[in-house]
Amino acid sequence: MRNFLILFILLGFPALEIYVLAKLAGTVGWWLLPWLLASAIVGGWLVRDAGTMLPLRLFGALQSGHSLSFSLLIGFRNVLAGLLLIFPGIISDFLALILLLLPHPKVTMPSAANDDVIDGEWTRVNEHDKLR
């Protein structure tokens, strides 16, 4: 049953995209072509940008102490949105826009508790003073 569902999704999504594109092309006309070209260009830019920014994101996460998986998640969202934009269709463009507009989860750094701080006073003792 699971394999049938996966096959249905893989074959049904492109068929639905073609149907929606055909209906929209009949309504809008040739204006649909610039939209598809522009979305493919933006999708390619997103995929390329996610690939070039990945080492910088990981390095920044390491320096600031944030989770590496969070940085990878942001990059994966951008790659997935870019691939959906490259795929010609209105439904995939809408899904990509939803992915891009989702807010990034806030990263909270574990703060040092005040219990970890030991207050006290100190004085320097010279070796010469110890012998007396």
Per the structure block, which two tokens stand in for 1? 């049953």
Question: What is the mean predicted confidence (pLDDT) over 106-129?
Answer: 64
**Which pLDDT tens digit goes with each residue over 57-67?**
888 888 877 77
Q: Quick one: what percent of the chain has pLDDT higher than 70? A: 86
Q: What is the pLDDT of residue 132?
A: 59
Burial of 108 (0-12, 13-18, 19+ CB in 10 A): exposed
- In this prediction the pTM is 0.71
CA distance 11 to 67: 37
CA distance 94 to 65: 34
Residue 128 main-chain phi, psi, to 5 deg: -65, -35
CA 75 to chain centre: 4
Written as one letter, the residue type at 21 is L
Per the structure block, which two tokens stand in for 11? 């074959």
Q: What is the pLDDT of residue 10?
A: 85
**Which pLDDT tens digit goes with each residue over 26-66?**
999 889 999 999 999 999 999 999 888 888 888 888 887 77
Q: What is the pLDDT of residue 72?
A: 85
**pLDDT at 96 exceeding the cut of 80:** yes
Q: What is the pLDDT of residue 114?
A: 53
User: DSSP letters along 18-68, please?
Assistant: HHHHHHHHHHH-TTHHHHHHHHHHHHHHHHHHHHHHHHHHHHHHHHHT--H
Is 127 in a helix, a strand, or coil? helix
Q: What is the pLDDT of residue 64?
A: 79
Question: What is the mean predicted confidence (pLDDT) over 69-85?
Answer: 89
